[in-house]
Structure 1
Amino acid sequence: MTATFALRGPALLFCPGNRPDRFAKAVAAADTVILDLEDAVGPDDKAAARTAVVGALADLDPAAVLVRINAPGTPWYDDDVRALSGHPQVALMLPMAARAADVEALAPHPVVALCETARGVLAAPEIAAATGCAGLMWGSEDLVADLGGRAGRAPGGGYRPAVEEARTRILYAARAAGVTPVDTVLVDIDDRATLRSDSAAAVAAGFAAKACIHPAQVAVVREAFRPTDDEVARARAMLAAAEAHSGGVFRLDGRMVDAPLLAHAREVLRQAAP
């Protein structure tokens, strides 16, 4: 875990590394922009995308930017790492993360590890605990392919059990290690209903952020993660009542309030902060 980088959320937005004309708009639209050198860029455009991303970093706030490099073992990984070595404060997203050593090899960069294979999901606790790990995200599309499955989505909504288990494992591993858990993207850009449902499920479970692949998805994610006015009011009332007590449990509006409920109230107010 790194103490020098805090991942901004809740809306992370992927932006192709070979589209520098979109960088500034993506940064303005999202809480964190992910400049992508991997899936969004074809083999013939890798070098140009790398040059564009590195050239733009001097003008971007490193606290609001991730760079998704290509996976270890690919022909572009070493060049990506070498090109970004001049920006050690910039966090990297590591695709196909499978070992803690993959994260630690990128020091001193903070790393958001993307677990999108069976091996990566099973190794998530070790990856999340690796020195330099700042966040953990899971990837549904690559995971289904790695599992040999045909579809990750359940007919009635949500994910099929094998995929939902991976989602849960990533959440547990991240929270246990004290790093930021990030929910996967929805590739159907126009399906706002599913995005809204997925985002609500993510925040209810404990994810701190969700990744987007199109600017139109950002507002939906932010709305789902933002506490309602009633939730904020209840949290404030609960914390105010707690100050009037000397400690231990107390009763408020017919409910017993203890330390876990107070922790939840503080988290609600943190999420509601502008």
Structure 2
Amino acid sequence: MTSTCRPGRAWIITPALRAGRFEGAQNCGAAVAVVDIEDSVALRDKQTARTACEAFFALPDPTCTRGIRINSLTTLDGIKDIAALAAYTHRPDLILVPKVESPRDIELTAASLDTDGYTPDIWALIESPRAFNNLPGIMRAPRLGGVVFGSADYAASVGCGLSWEALRYTRSSLINAATAADIPAIDAPTWELHNPDTLRRDAELAKELGFYGKGCVHPRHVEVINEVFTPTAEELSQARAIVAAADASGGSVTTVNGQMRGTPFFNAARALIADADRTS
């Protein structure tokens, strides 16, 4: 069965070899904290990182979902990562599998790690042209919990820029496929660390497009992401007005504040309220 877990809006990722950042990452307000042993770790340091990051999951009283980004399962390091995770005393809640291009990557992760007492949430990092060509198949993986957009790797592979316009089609394709599969999609981080206006703009565009949340690589980004993706009091008030109008009209087309509203608007308003109630 496809996971329906939606662990949160802001995701922060921290390198496995920066143990001094572990506690801060888990307590910065992000709903998901991911320790990384893939792109942020040099090949020569993979084994060191593999061992060091278990401490990330041993910290007491976590206030967030704790995950790990392993190496691609098409590499020897990815296979070693899975073997190491199976032996951890403290295990991650979530496994982020990079370079996913086939449902087999998700199936192998589940087959290797699932036990009677442990079934981690498994997410796919979608970051290559081949992955986008294979999205329908990937989305059918039974244990897939959600998808994350890997903008940097995708842009590098096709030779395009990282601007919103350059990647709009790709993001839209991912949202469409994820929504069809009823799983959440998380947008890539904003790579400009010191420009809050750029971050806010990117987060607002991601929310408007349909992303459930957004990744980040610095704790200072978490507050903005949470703020953007949390429905405002005005948005909730408008949604409740639409639901009230729907109930009053018996589900027929009606008007709310001078705007025509019908079934699609009713459904969207109810979904917004339900999600706000679930996360409050």
TM-score, length of structure 2 as denominator length:
0.86
Which structure 2 residue ranges, 5 or more long, are not aligned? Answer: 115-119
Selected match of 1:142 from 144, 153, 160: 153
Which structure 1 residue ranges, 5 or more long, are not aligned? Answer: none
- Distance in 2 between the 1:247 and 1:174 partners? 28
For each residue in 1:234-262, what CA deviation from the matched residue of structure 2 results, as whole angstroms up to 9, or x when unmatched? 11222233333433333333333322212
Q: Percent identity?
A: 32
The 5-angstrom pairing of residues 1-274 of structure 1 reads 2-3=2-3, 6-29=5-28, 30-59=30-59, 61=62, 64-86=65-87, 90-107=93-110, 108=114, 109-147=120-158, 149-153=159-163, 158-160=164-166, 163-269=167-273, 270-271=275-276, 273-274=279-280
- Distance in 2 between the 1:140 and 1:32 partners? 19
2:117 counterpart residue number: none
Are the counterparts in 1 of residues 67 and 92 from structure 2 also a CA contact under 8 Å?
A: no
For each residue in 1:168-192, what CA deviation from the matched residue of structure 2 results, as whole angstroms up to 9, or x when unmatched? 1111111111111111111111122
- Distance in 2 between the 1:242 and 1:101 partners? 44
- Distance in 2 between the 1:224 and 1:16 partners? 26
For each residue in 1:137-176, what CA deviation from the matched residue of structure 2 results, as whole angstroms up to 9, or x when unmatched? 11111111111x15232xxxx232xx22211111111111
- Distance in 1 between the 2:243 and 2:229 partners? 21
Pairwise CA RMSD: 2.2
Are the counterparts in 2 of residues 183 and 211 from structure 1 also a CA contact under 8 Å?
A: yes
Number of aligned residues: 266
Are the counterparts in 2 of residues 7 and 63 from structure 1 also a CA contact under 8 Å?
A: no
Matched letter for residue 17 of structure 2: N
Are the counterparts in 2 of residues 100 and 126 from structure 1 also a CA contact under 8 Å?
A: yes
Are the counterparts in 1 of residues 106 and 122 from structure 2 also a CA contact under 8 Å?
A: yes
Q: How far does residue 209 in structure 1 lie from its aligned partner after superposition?
A: 0.8
TM-score, length of structure 1 as denominator length:
0.88
For each residue in 1:16-37, what CA deviation from the matched residue of structure 2 results, as whole angstroms up to 9, or x when unmatched? 1122232221111111011111
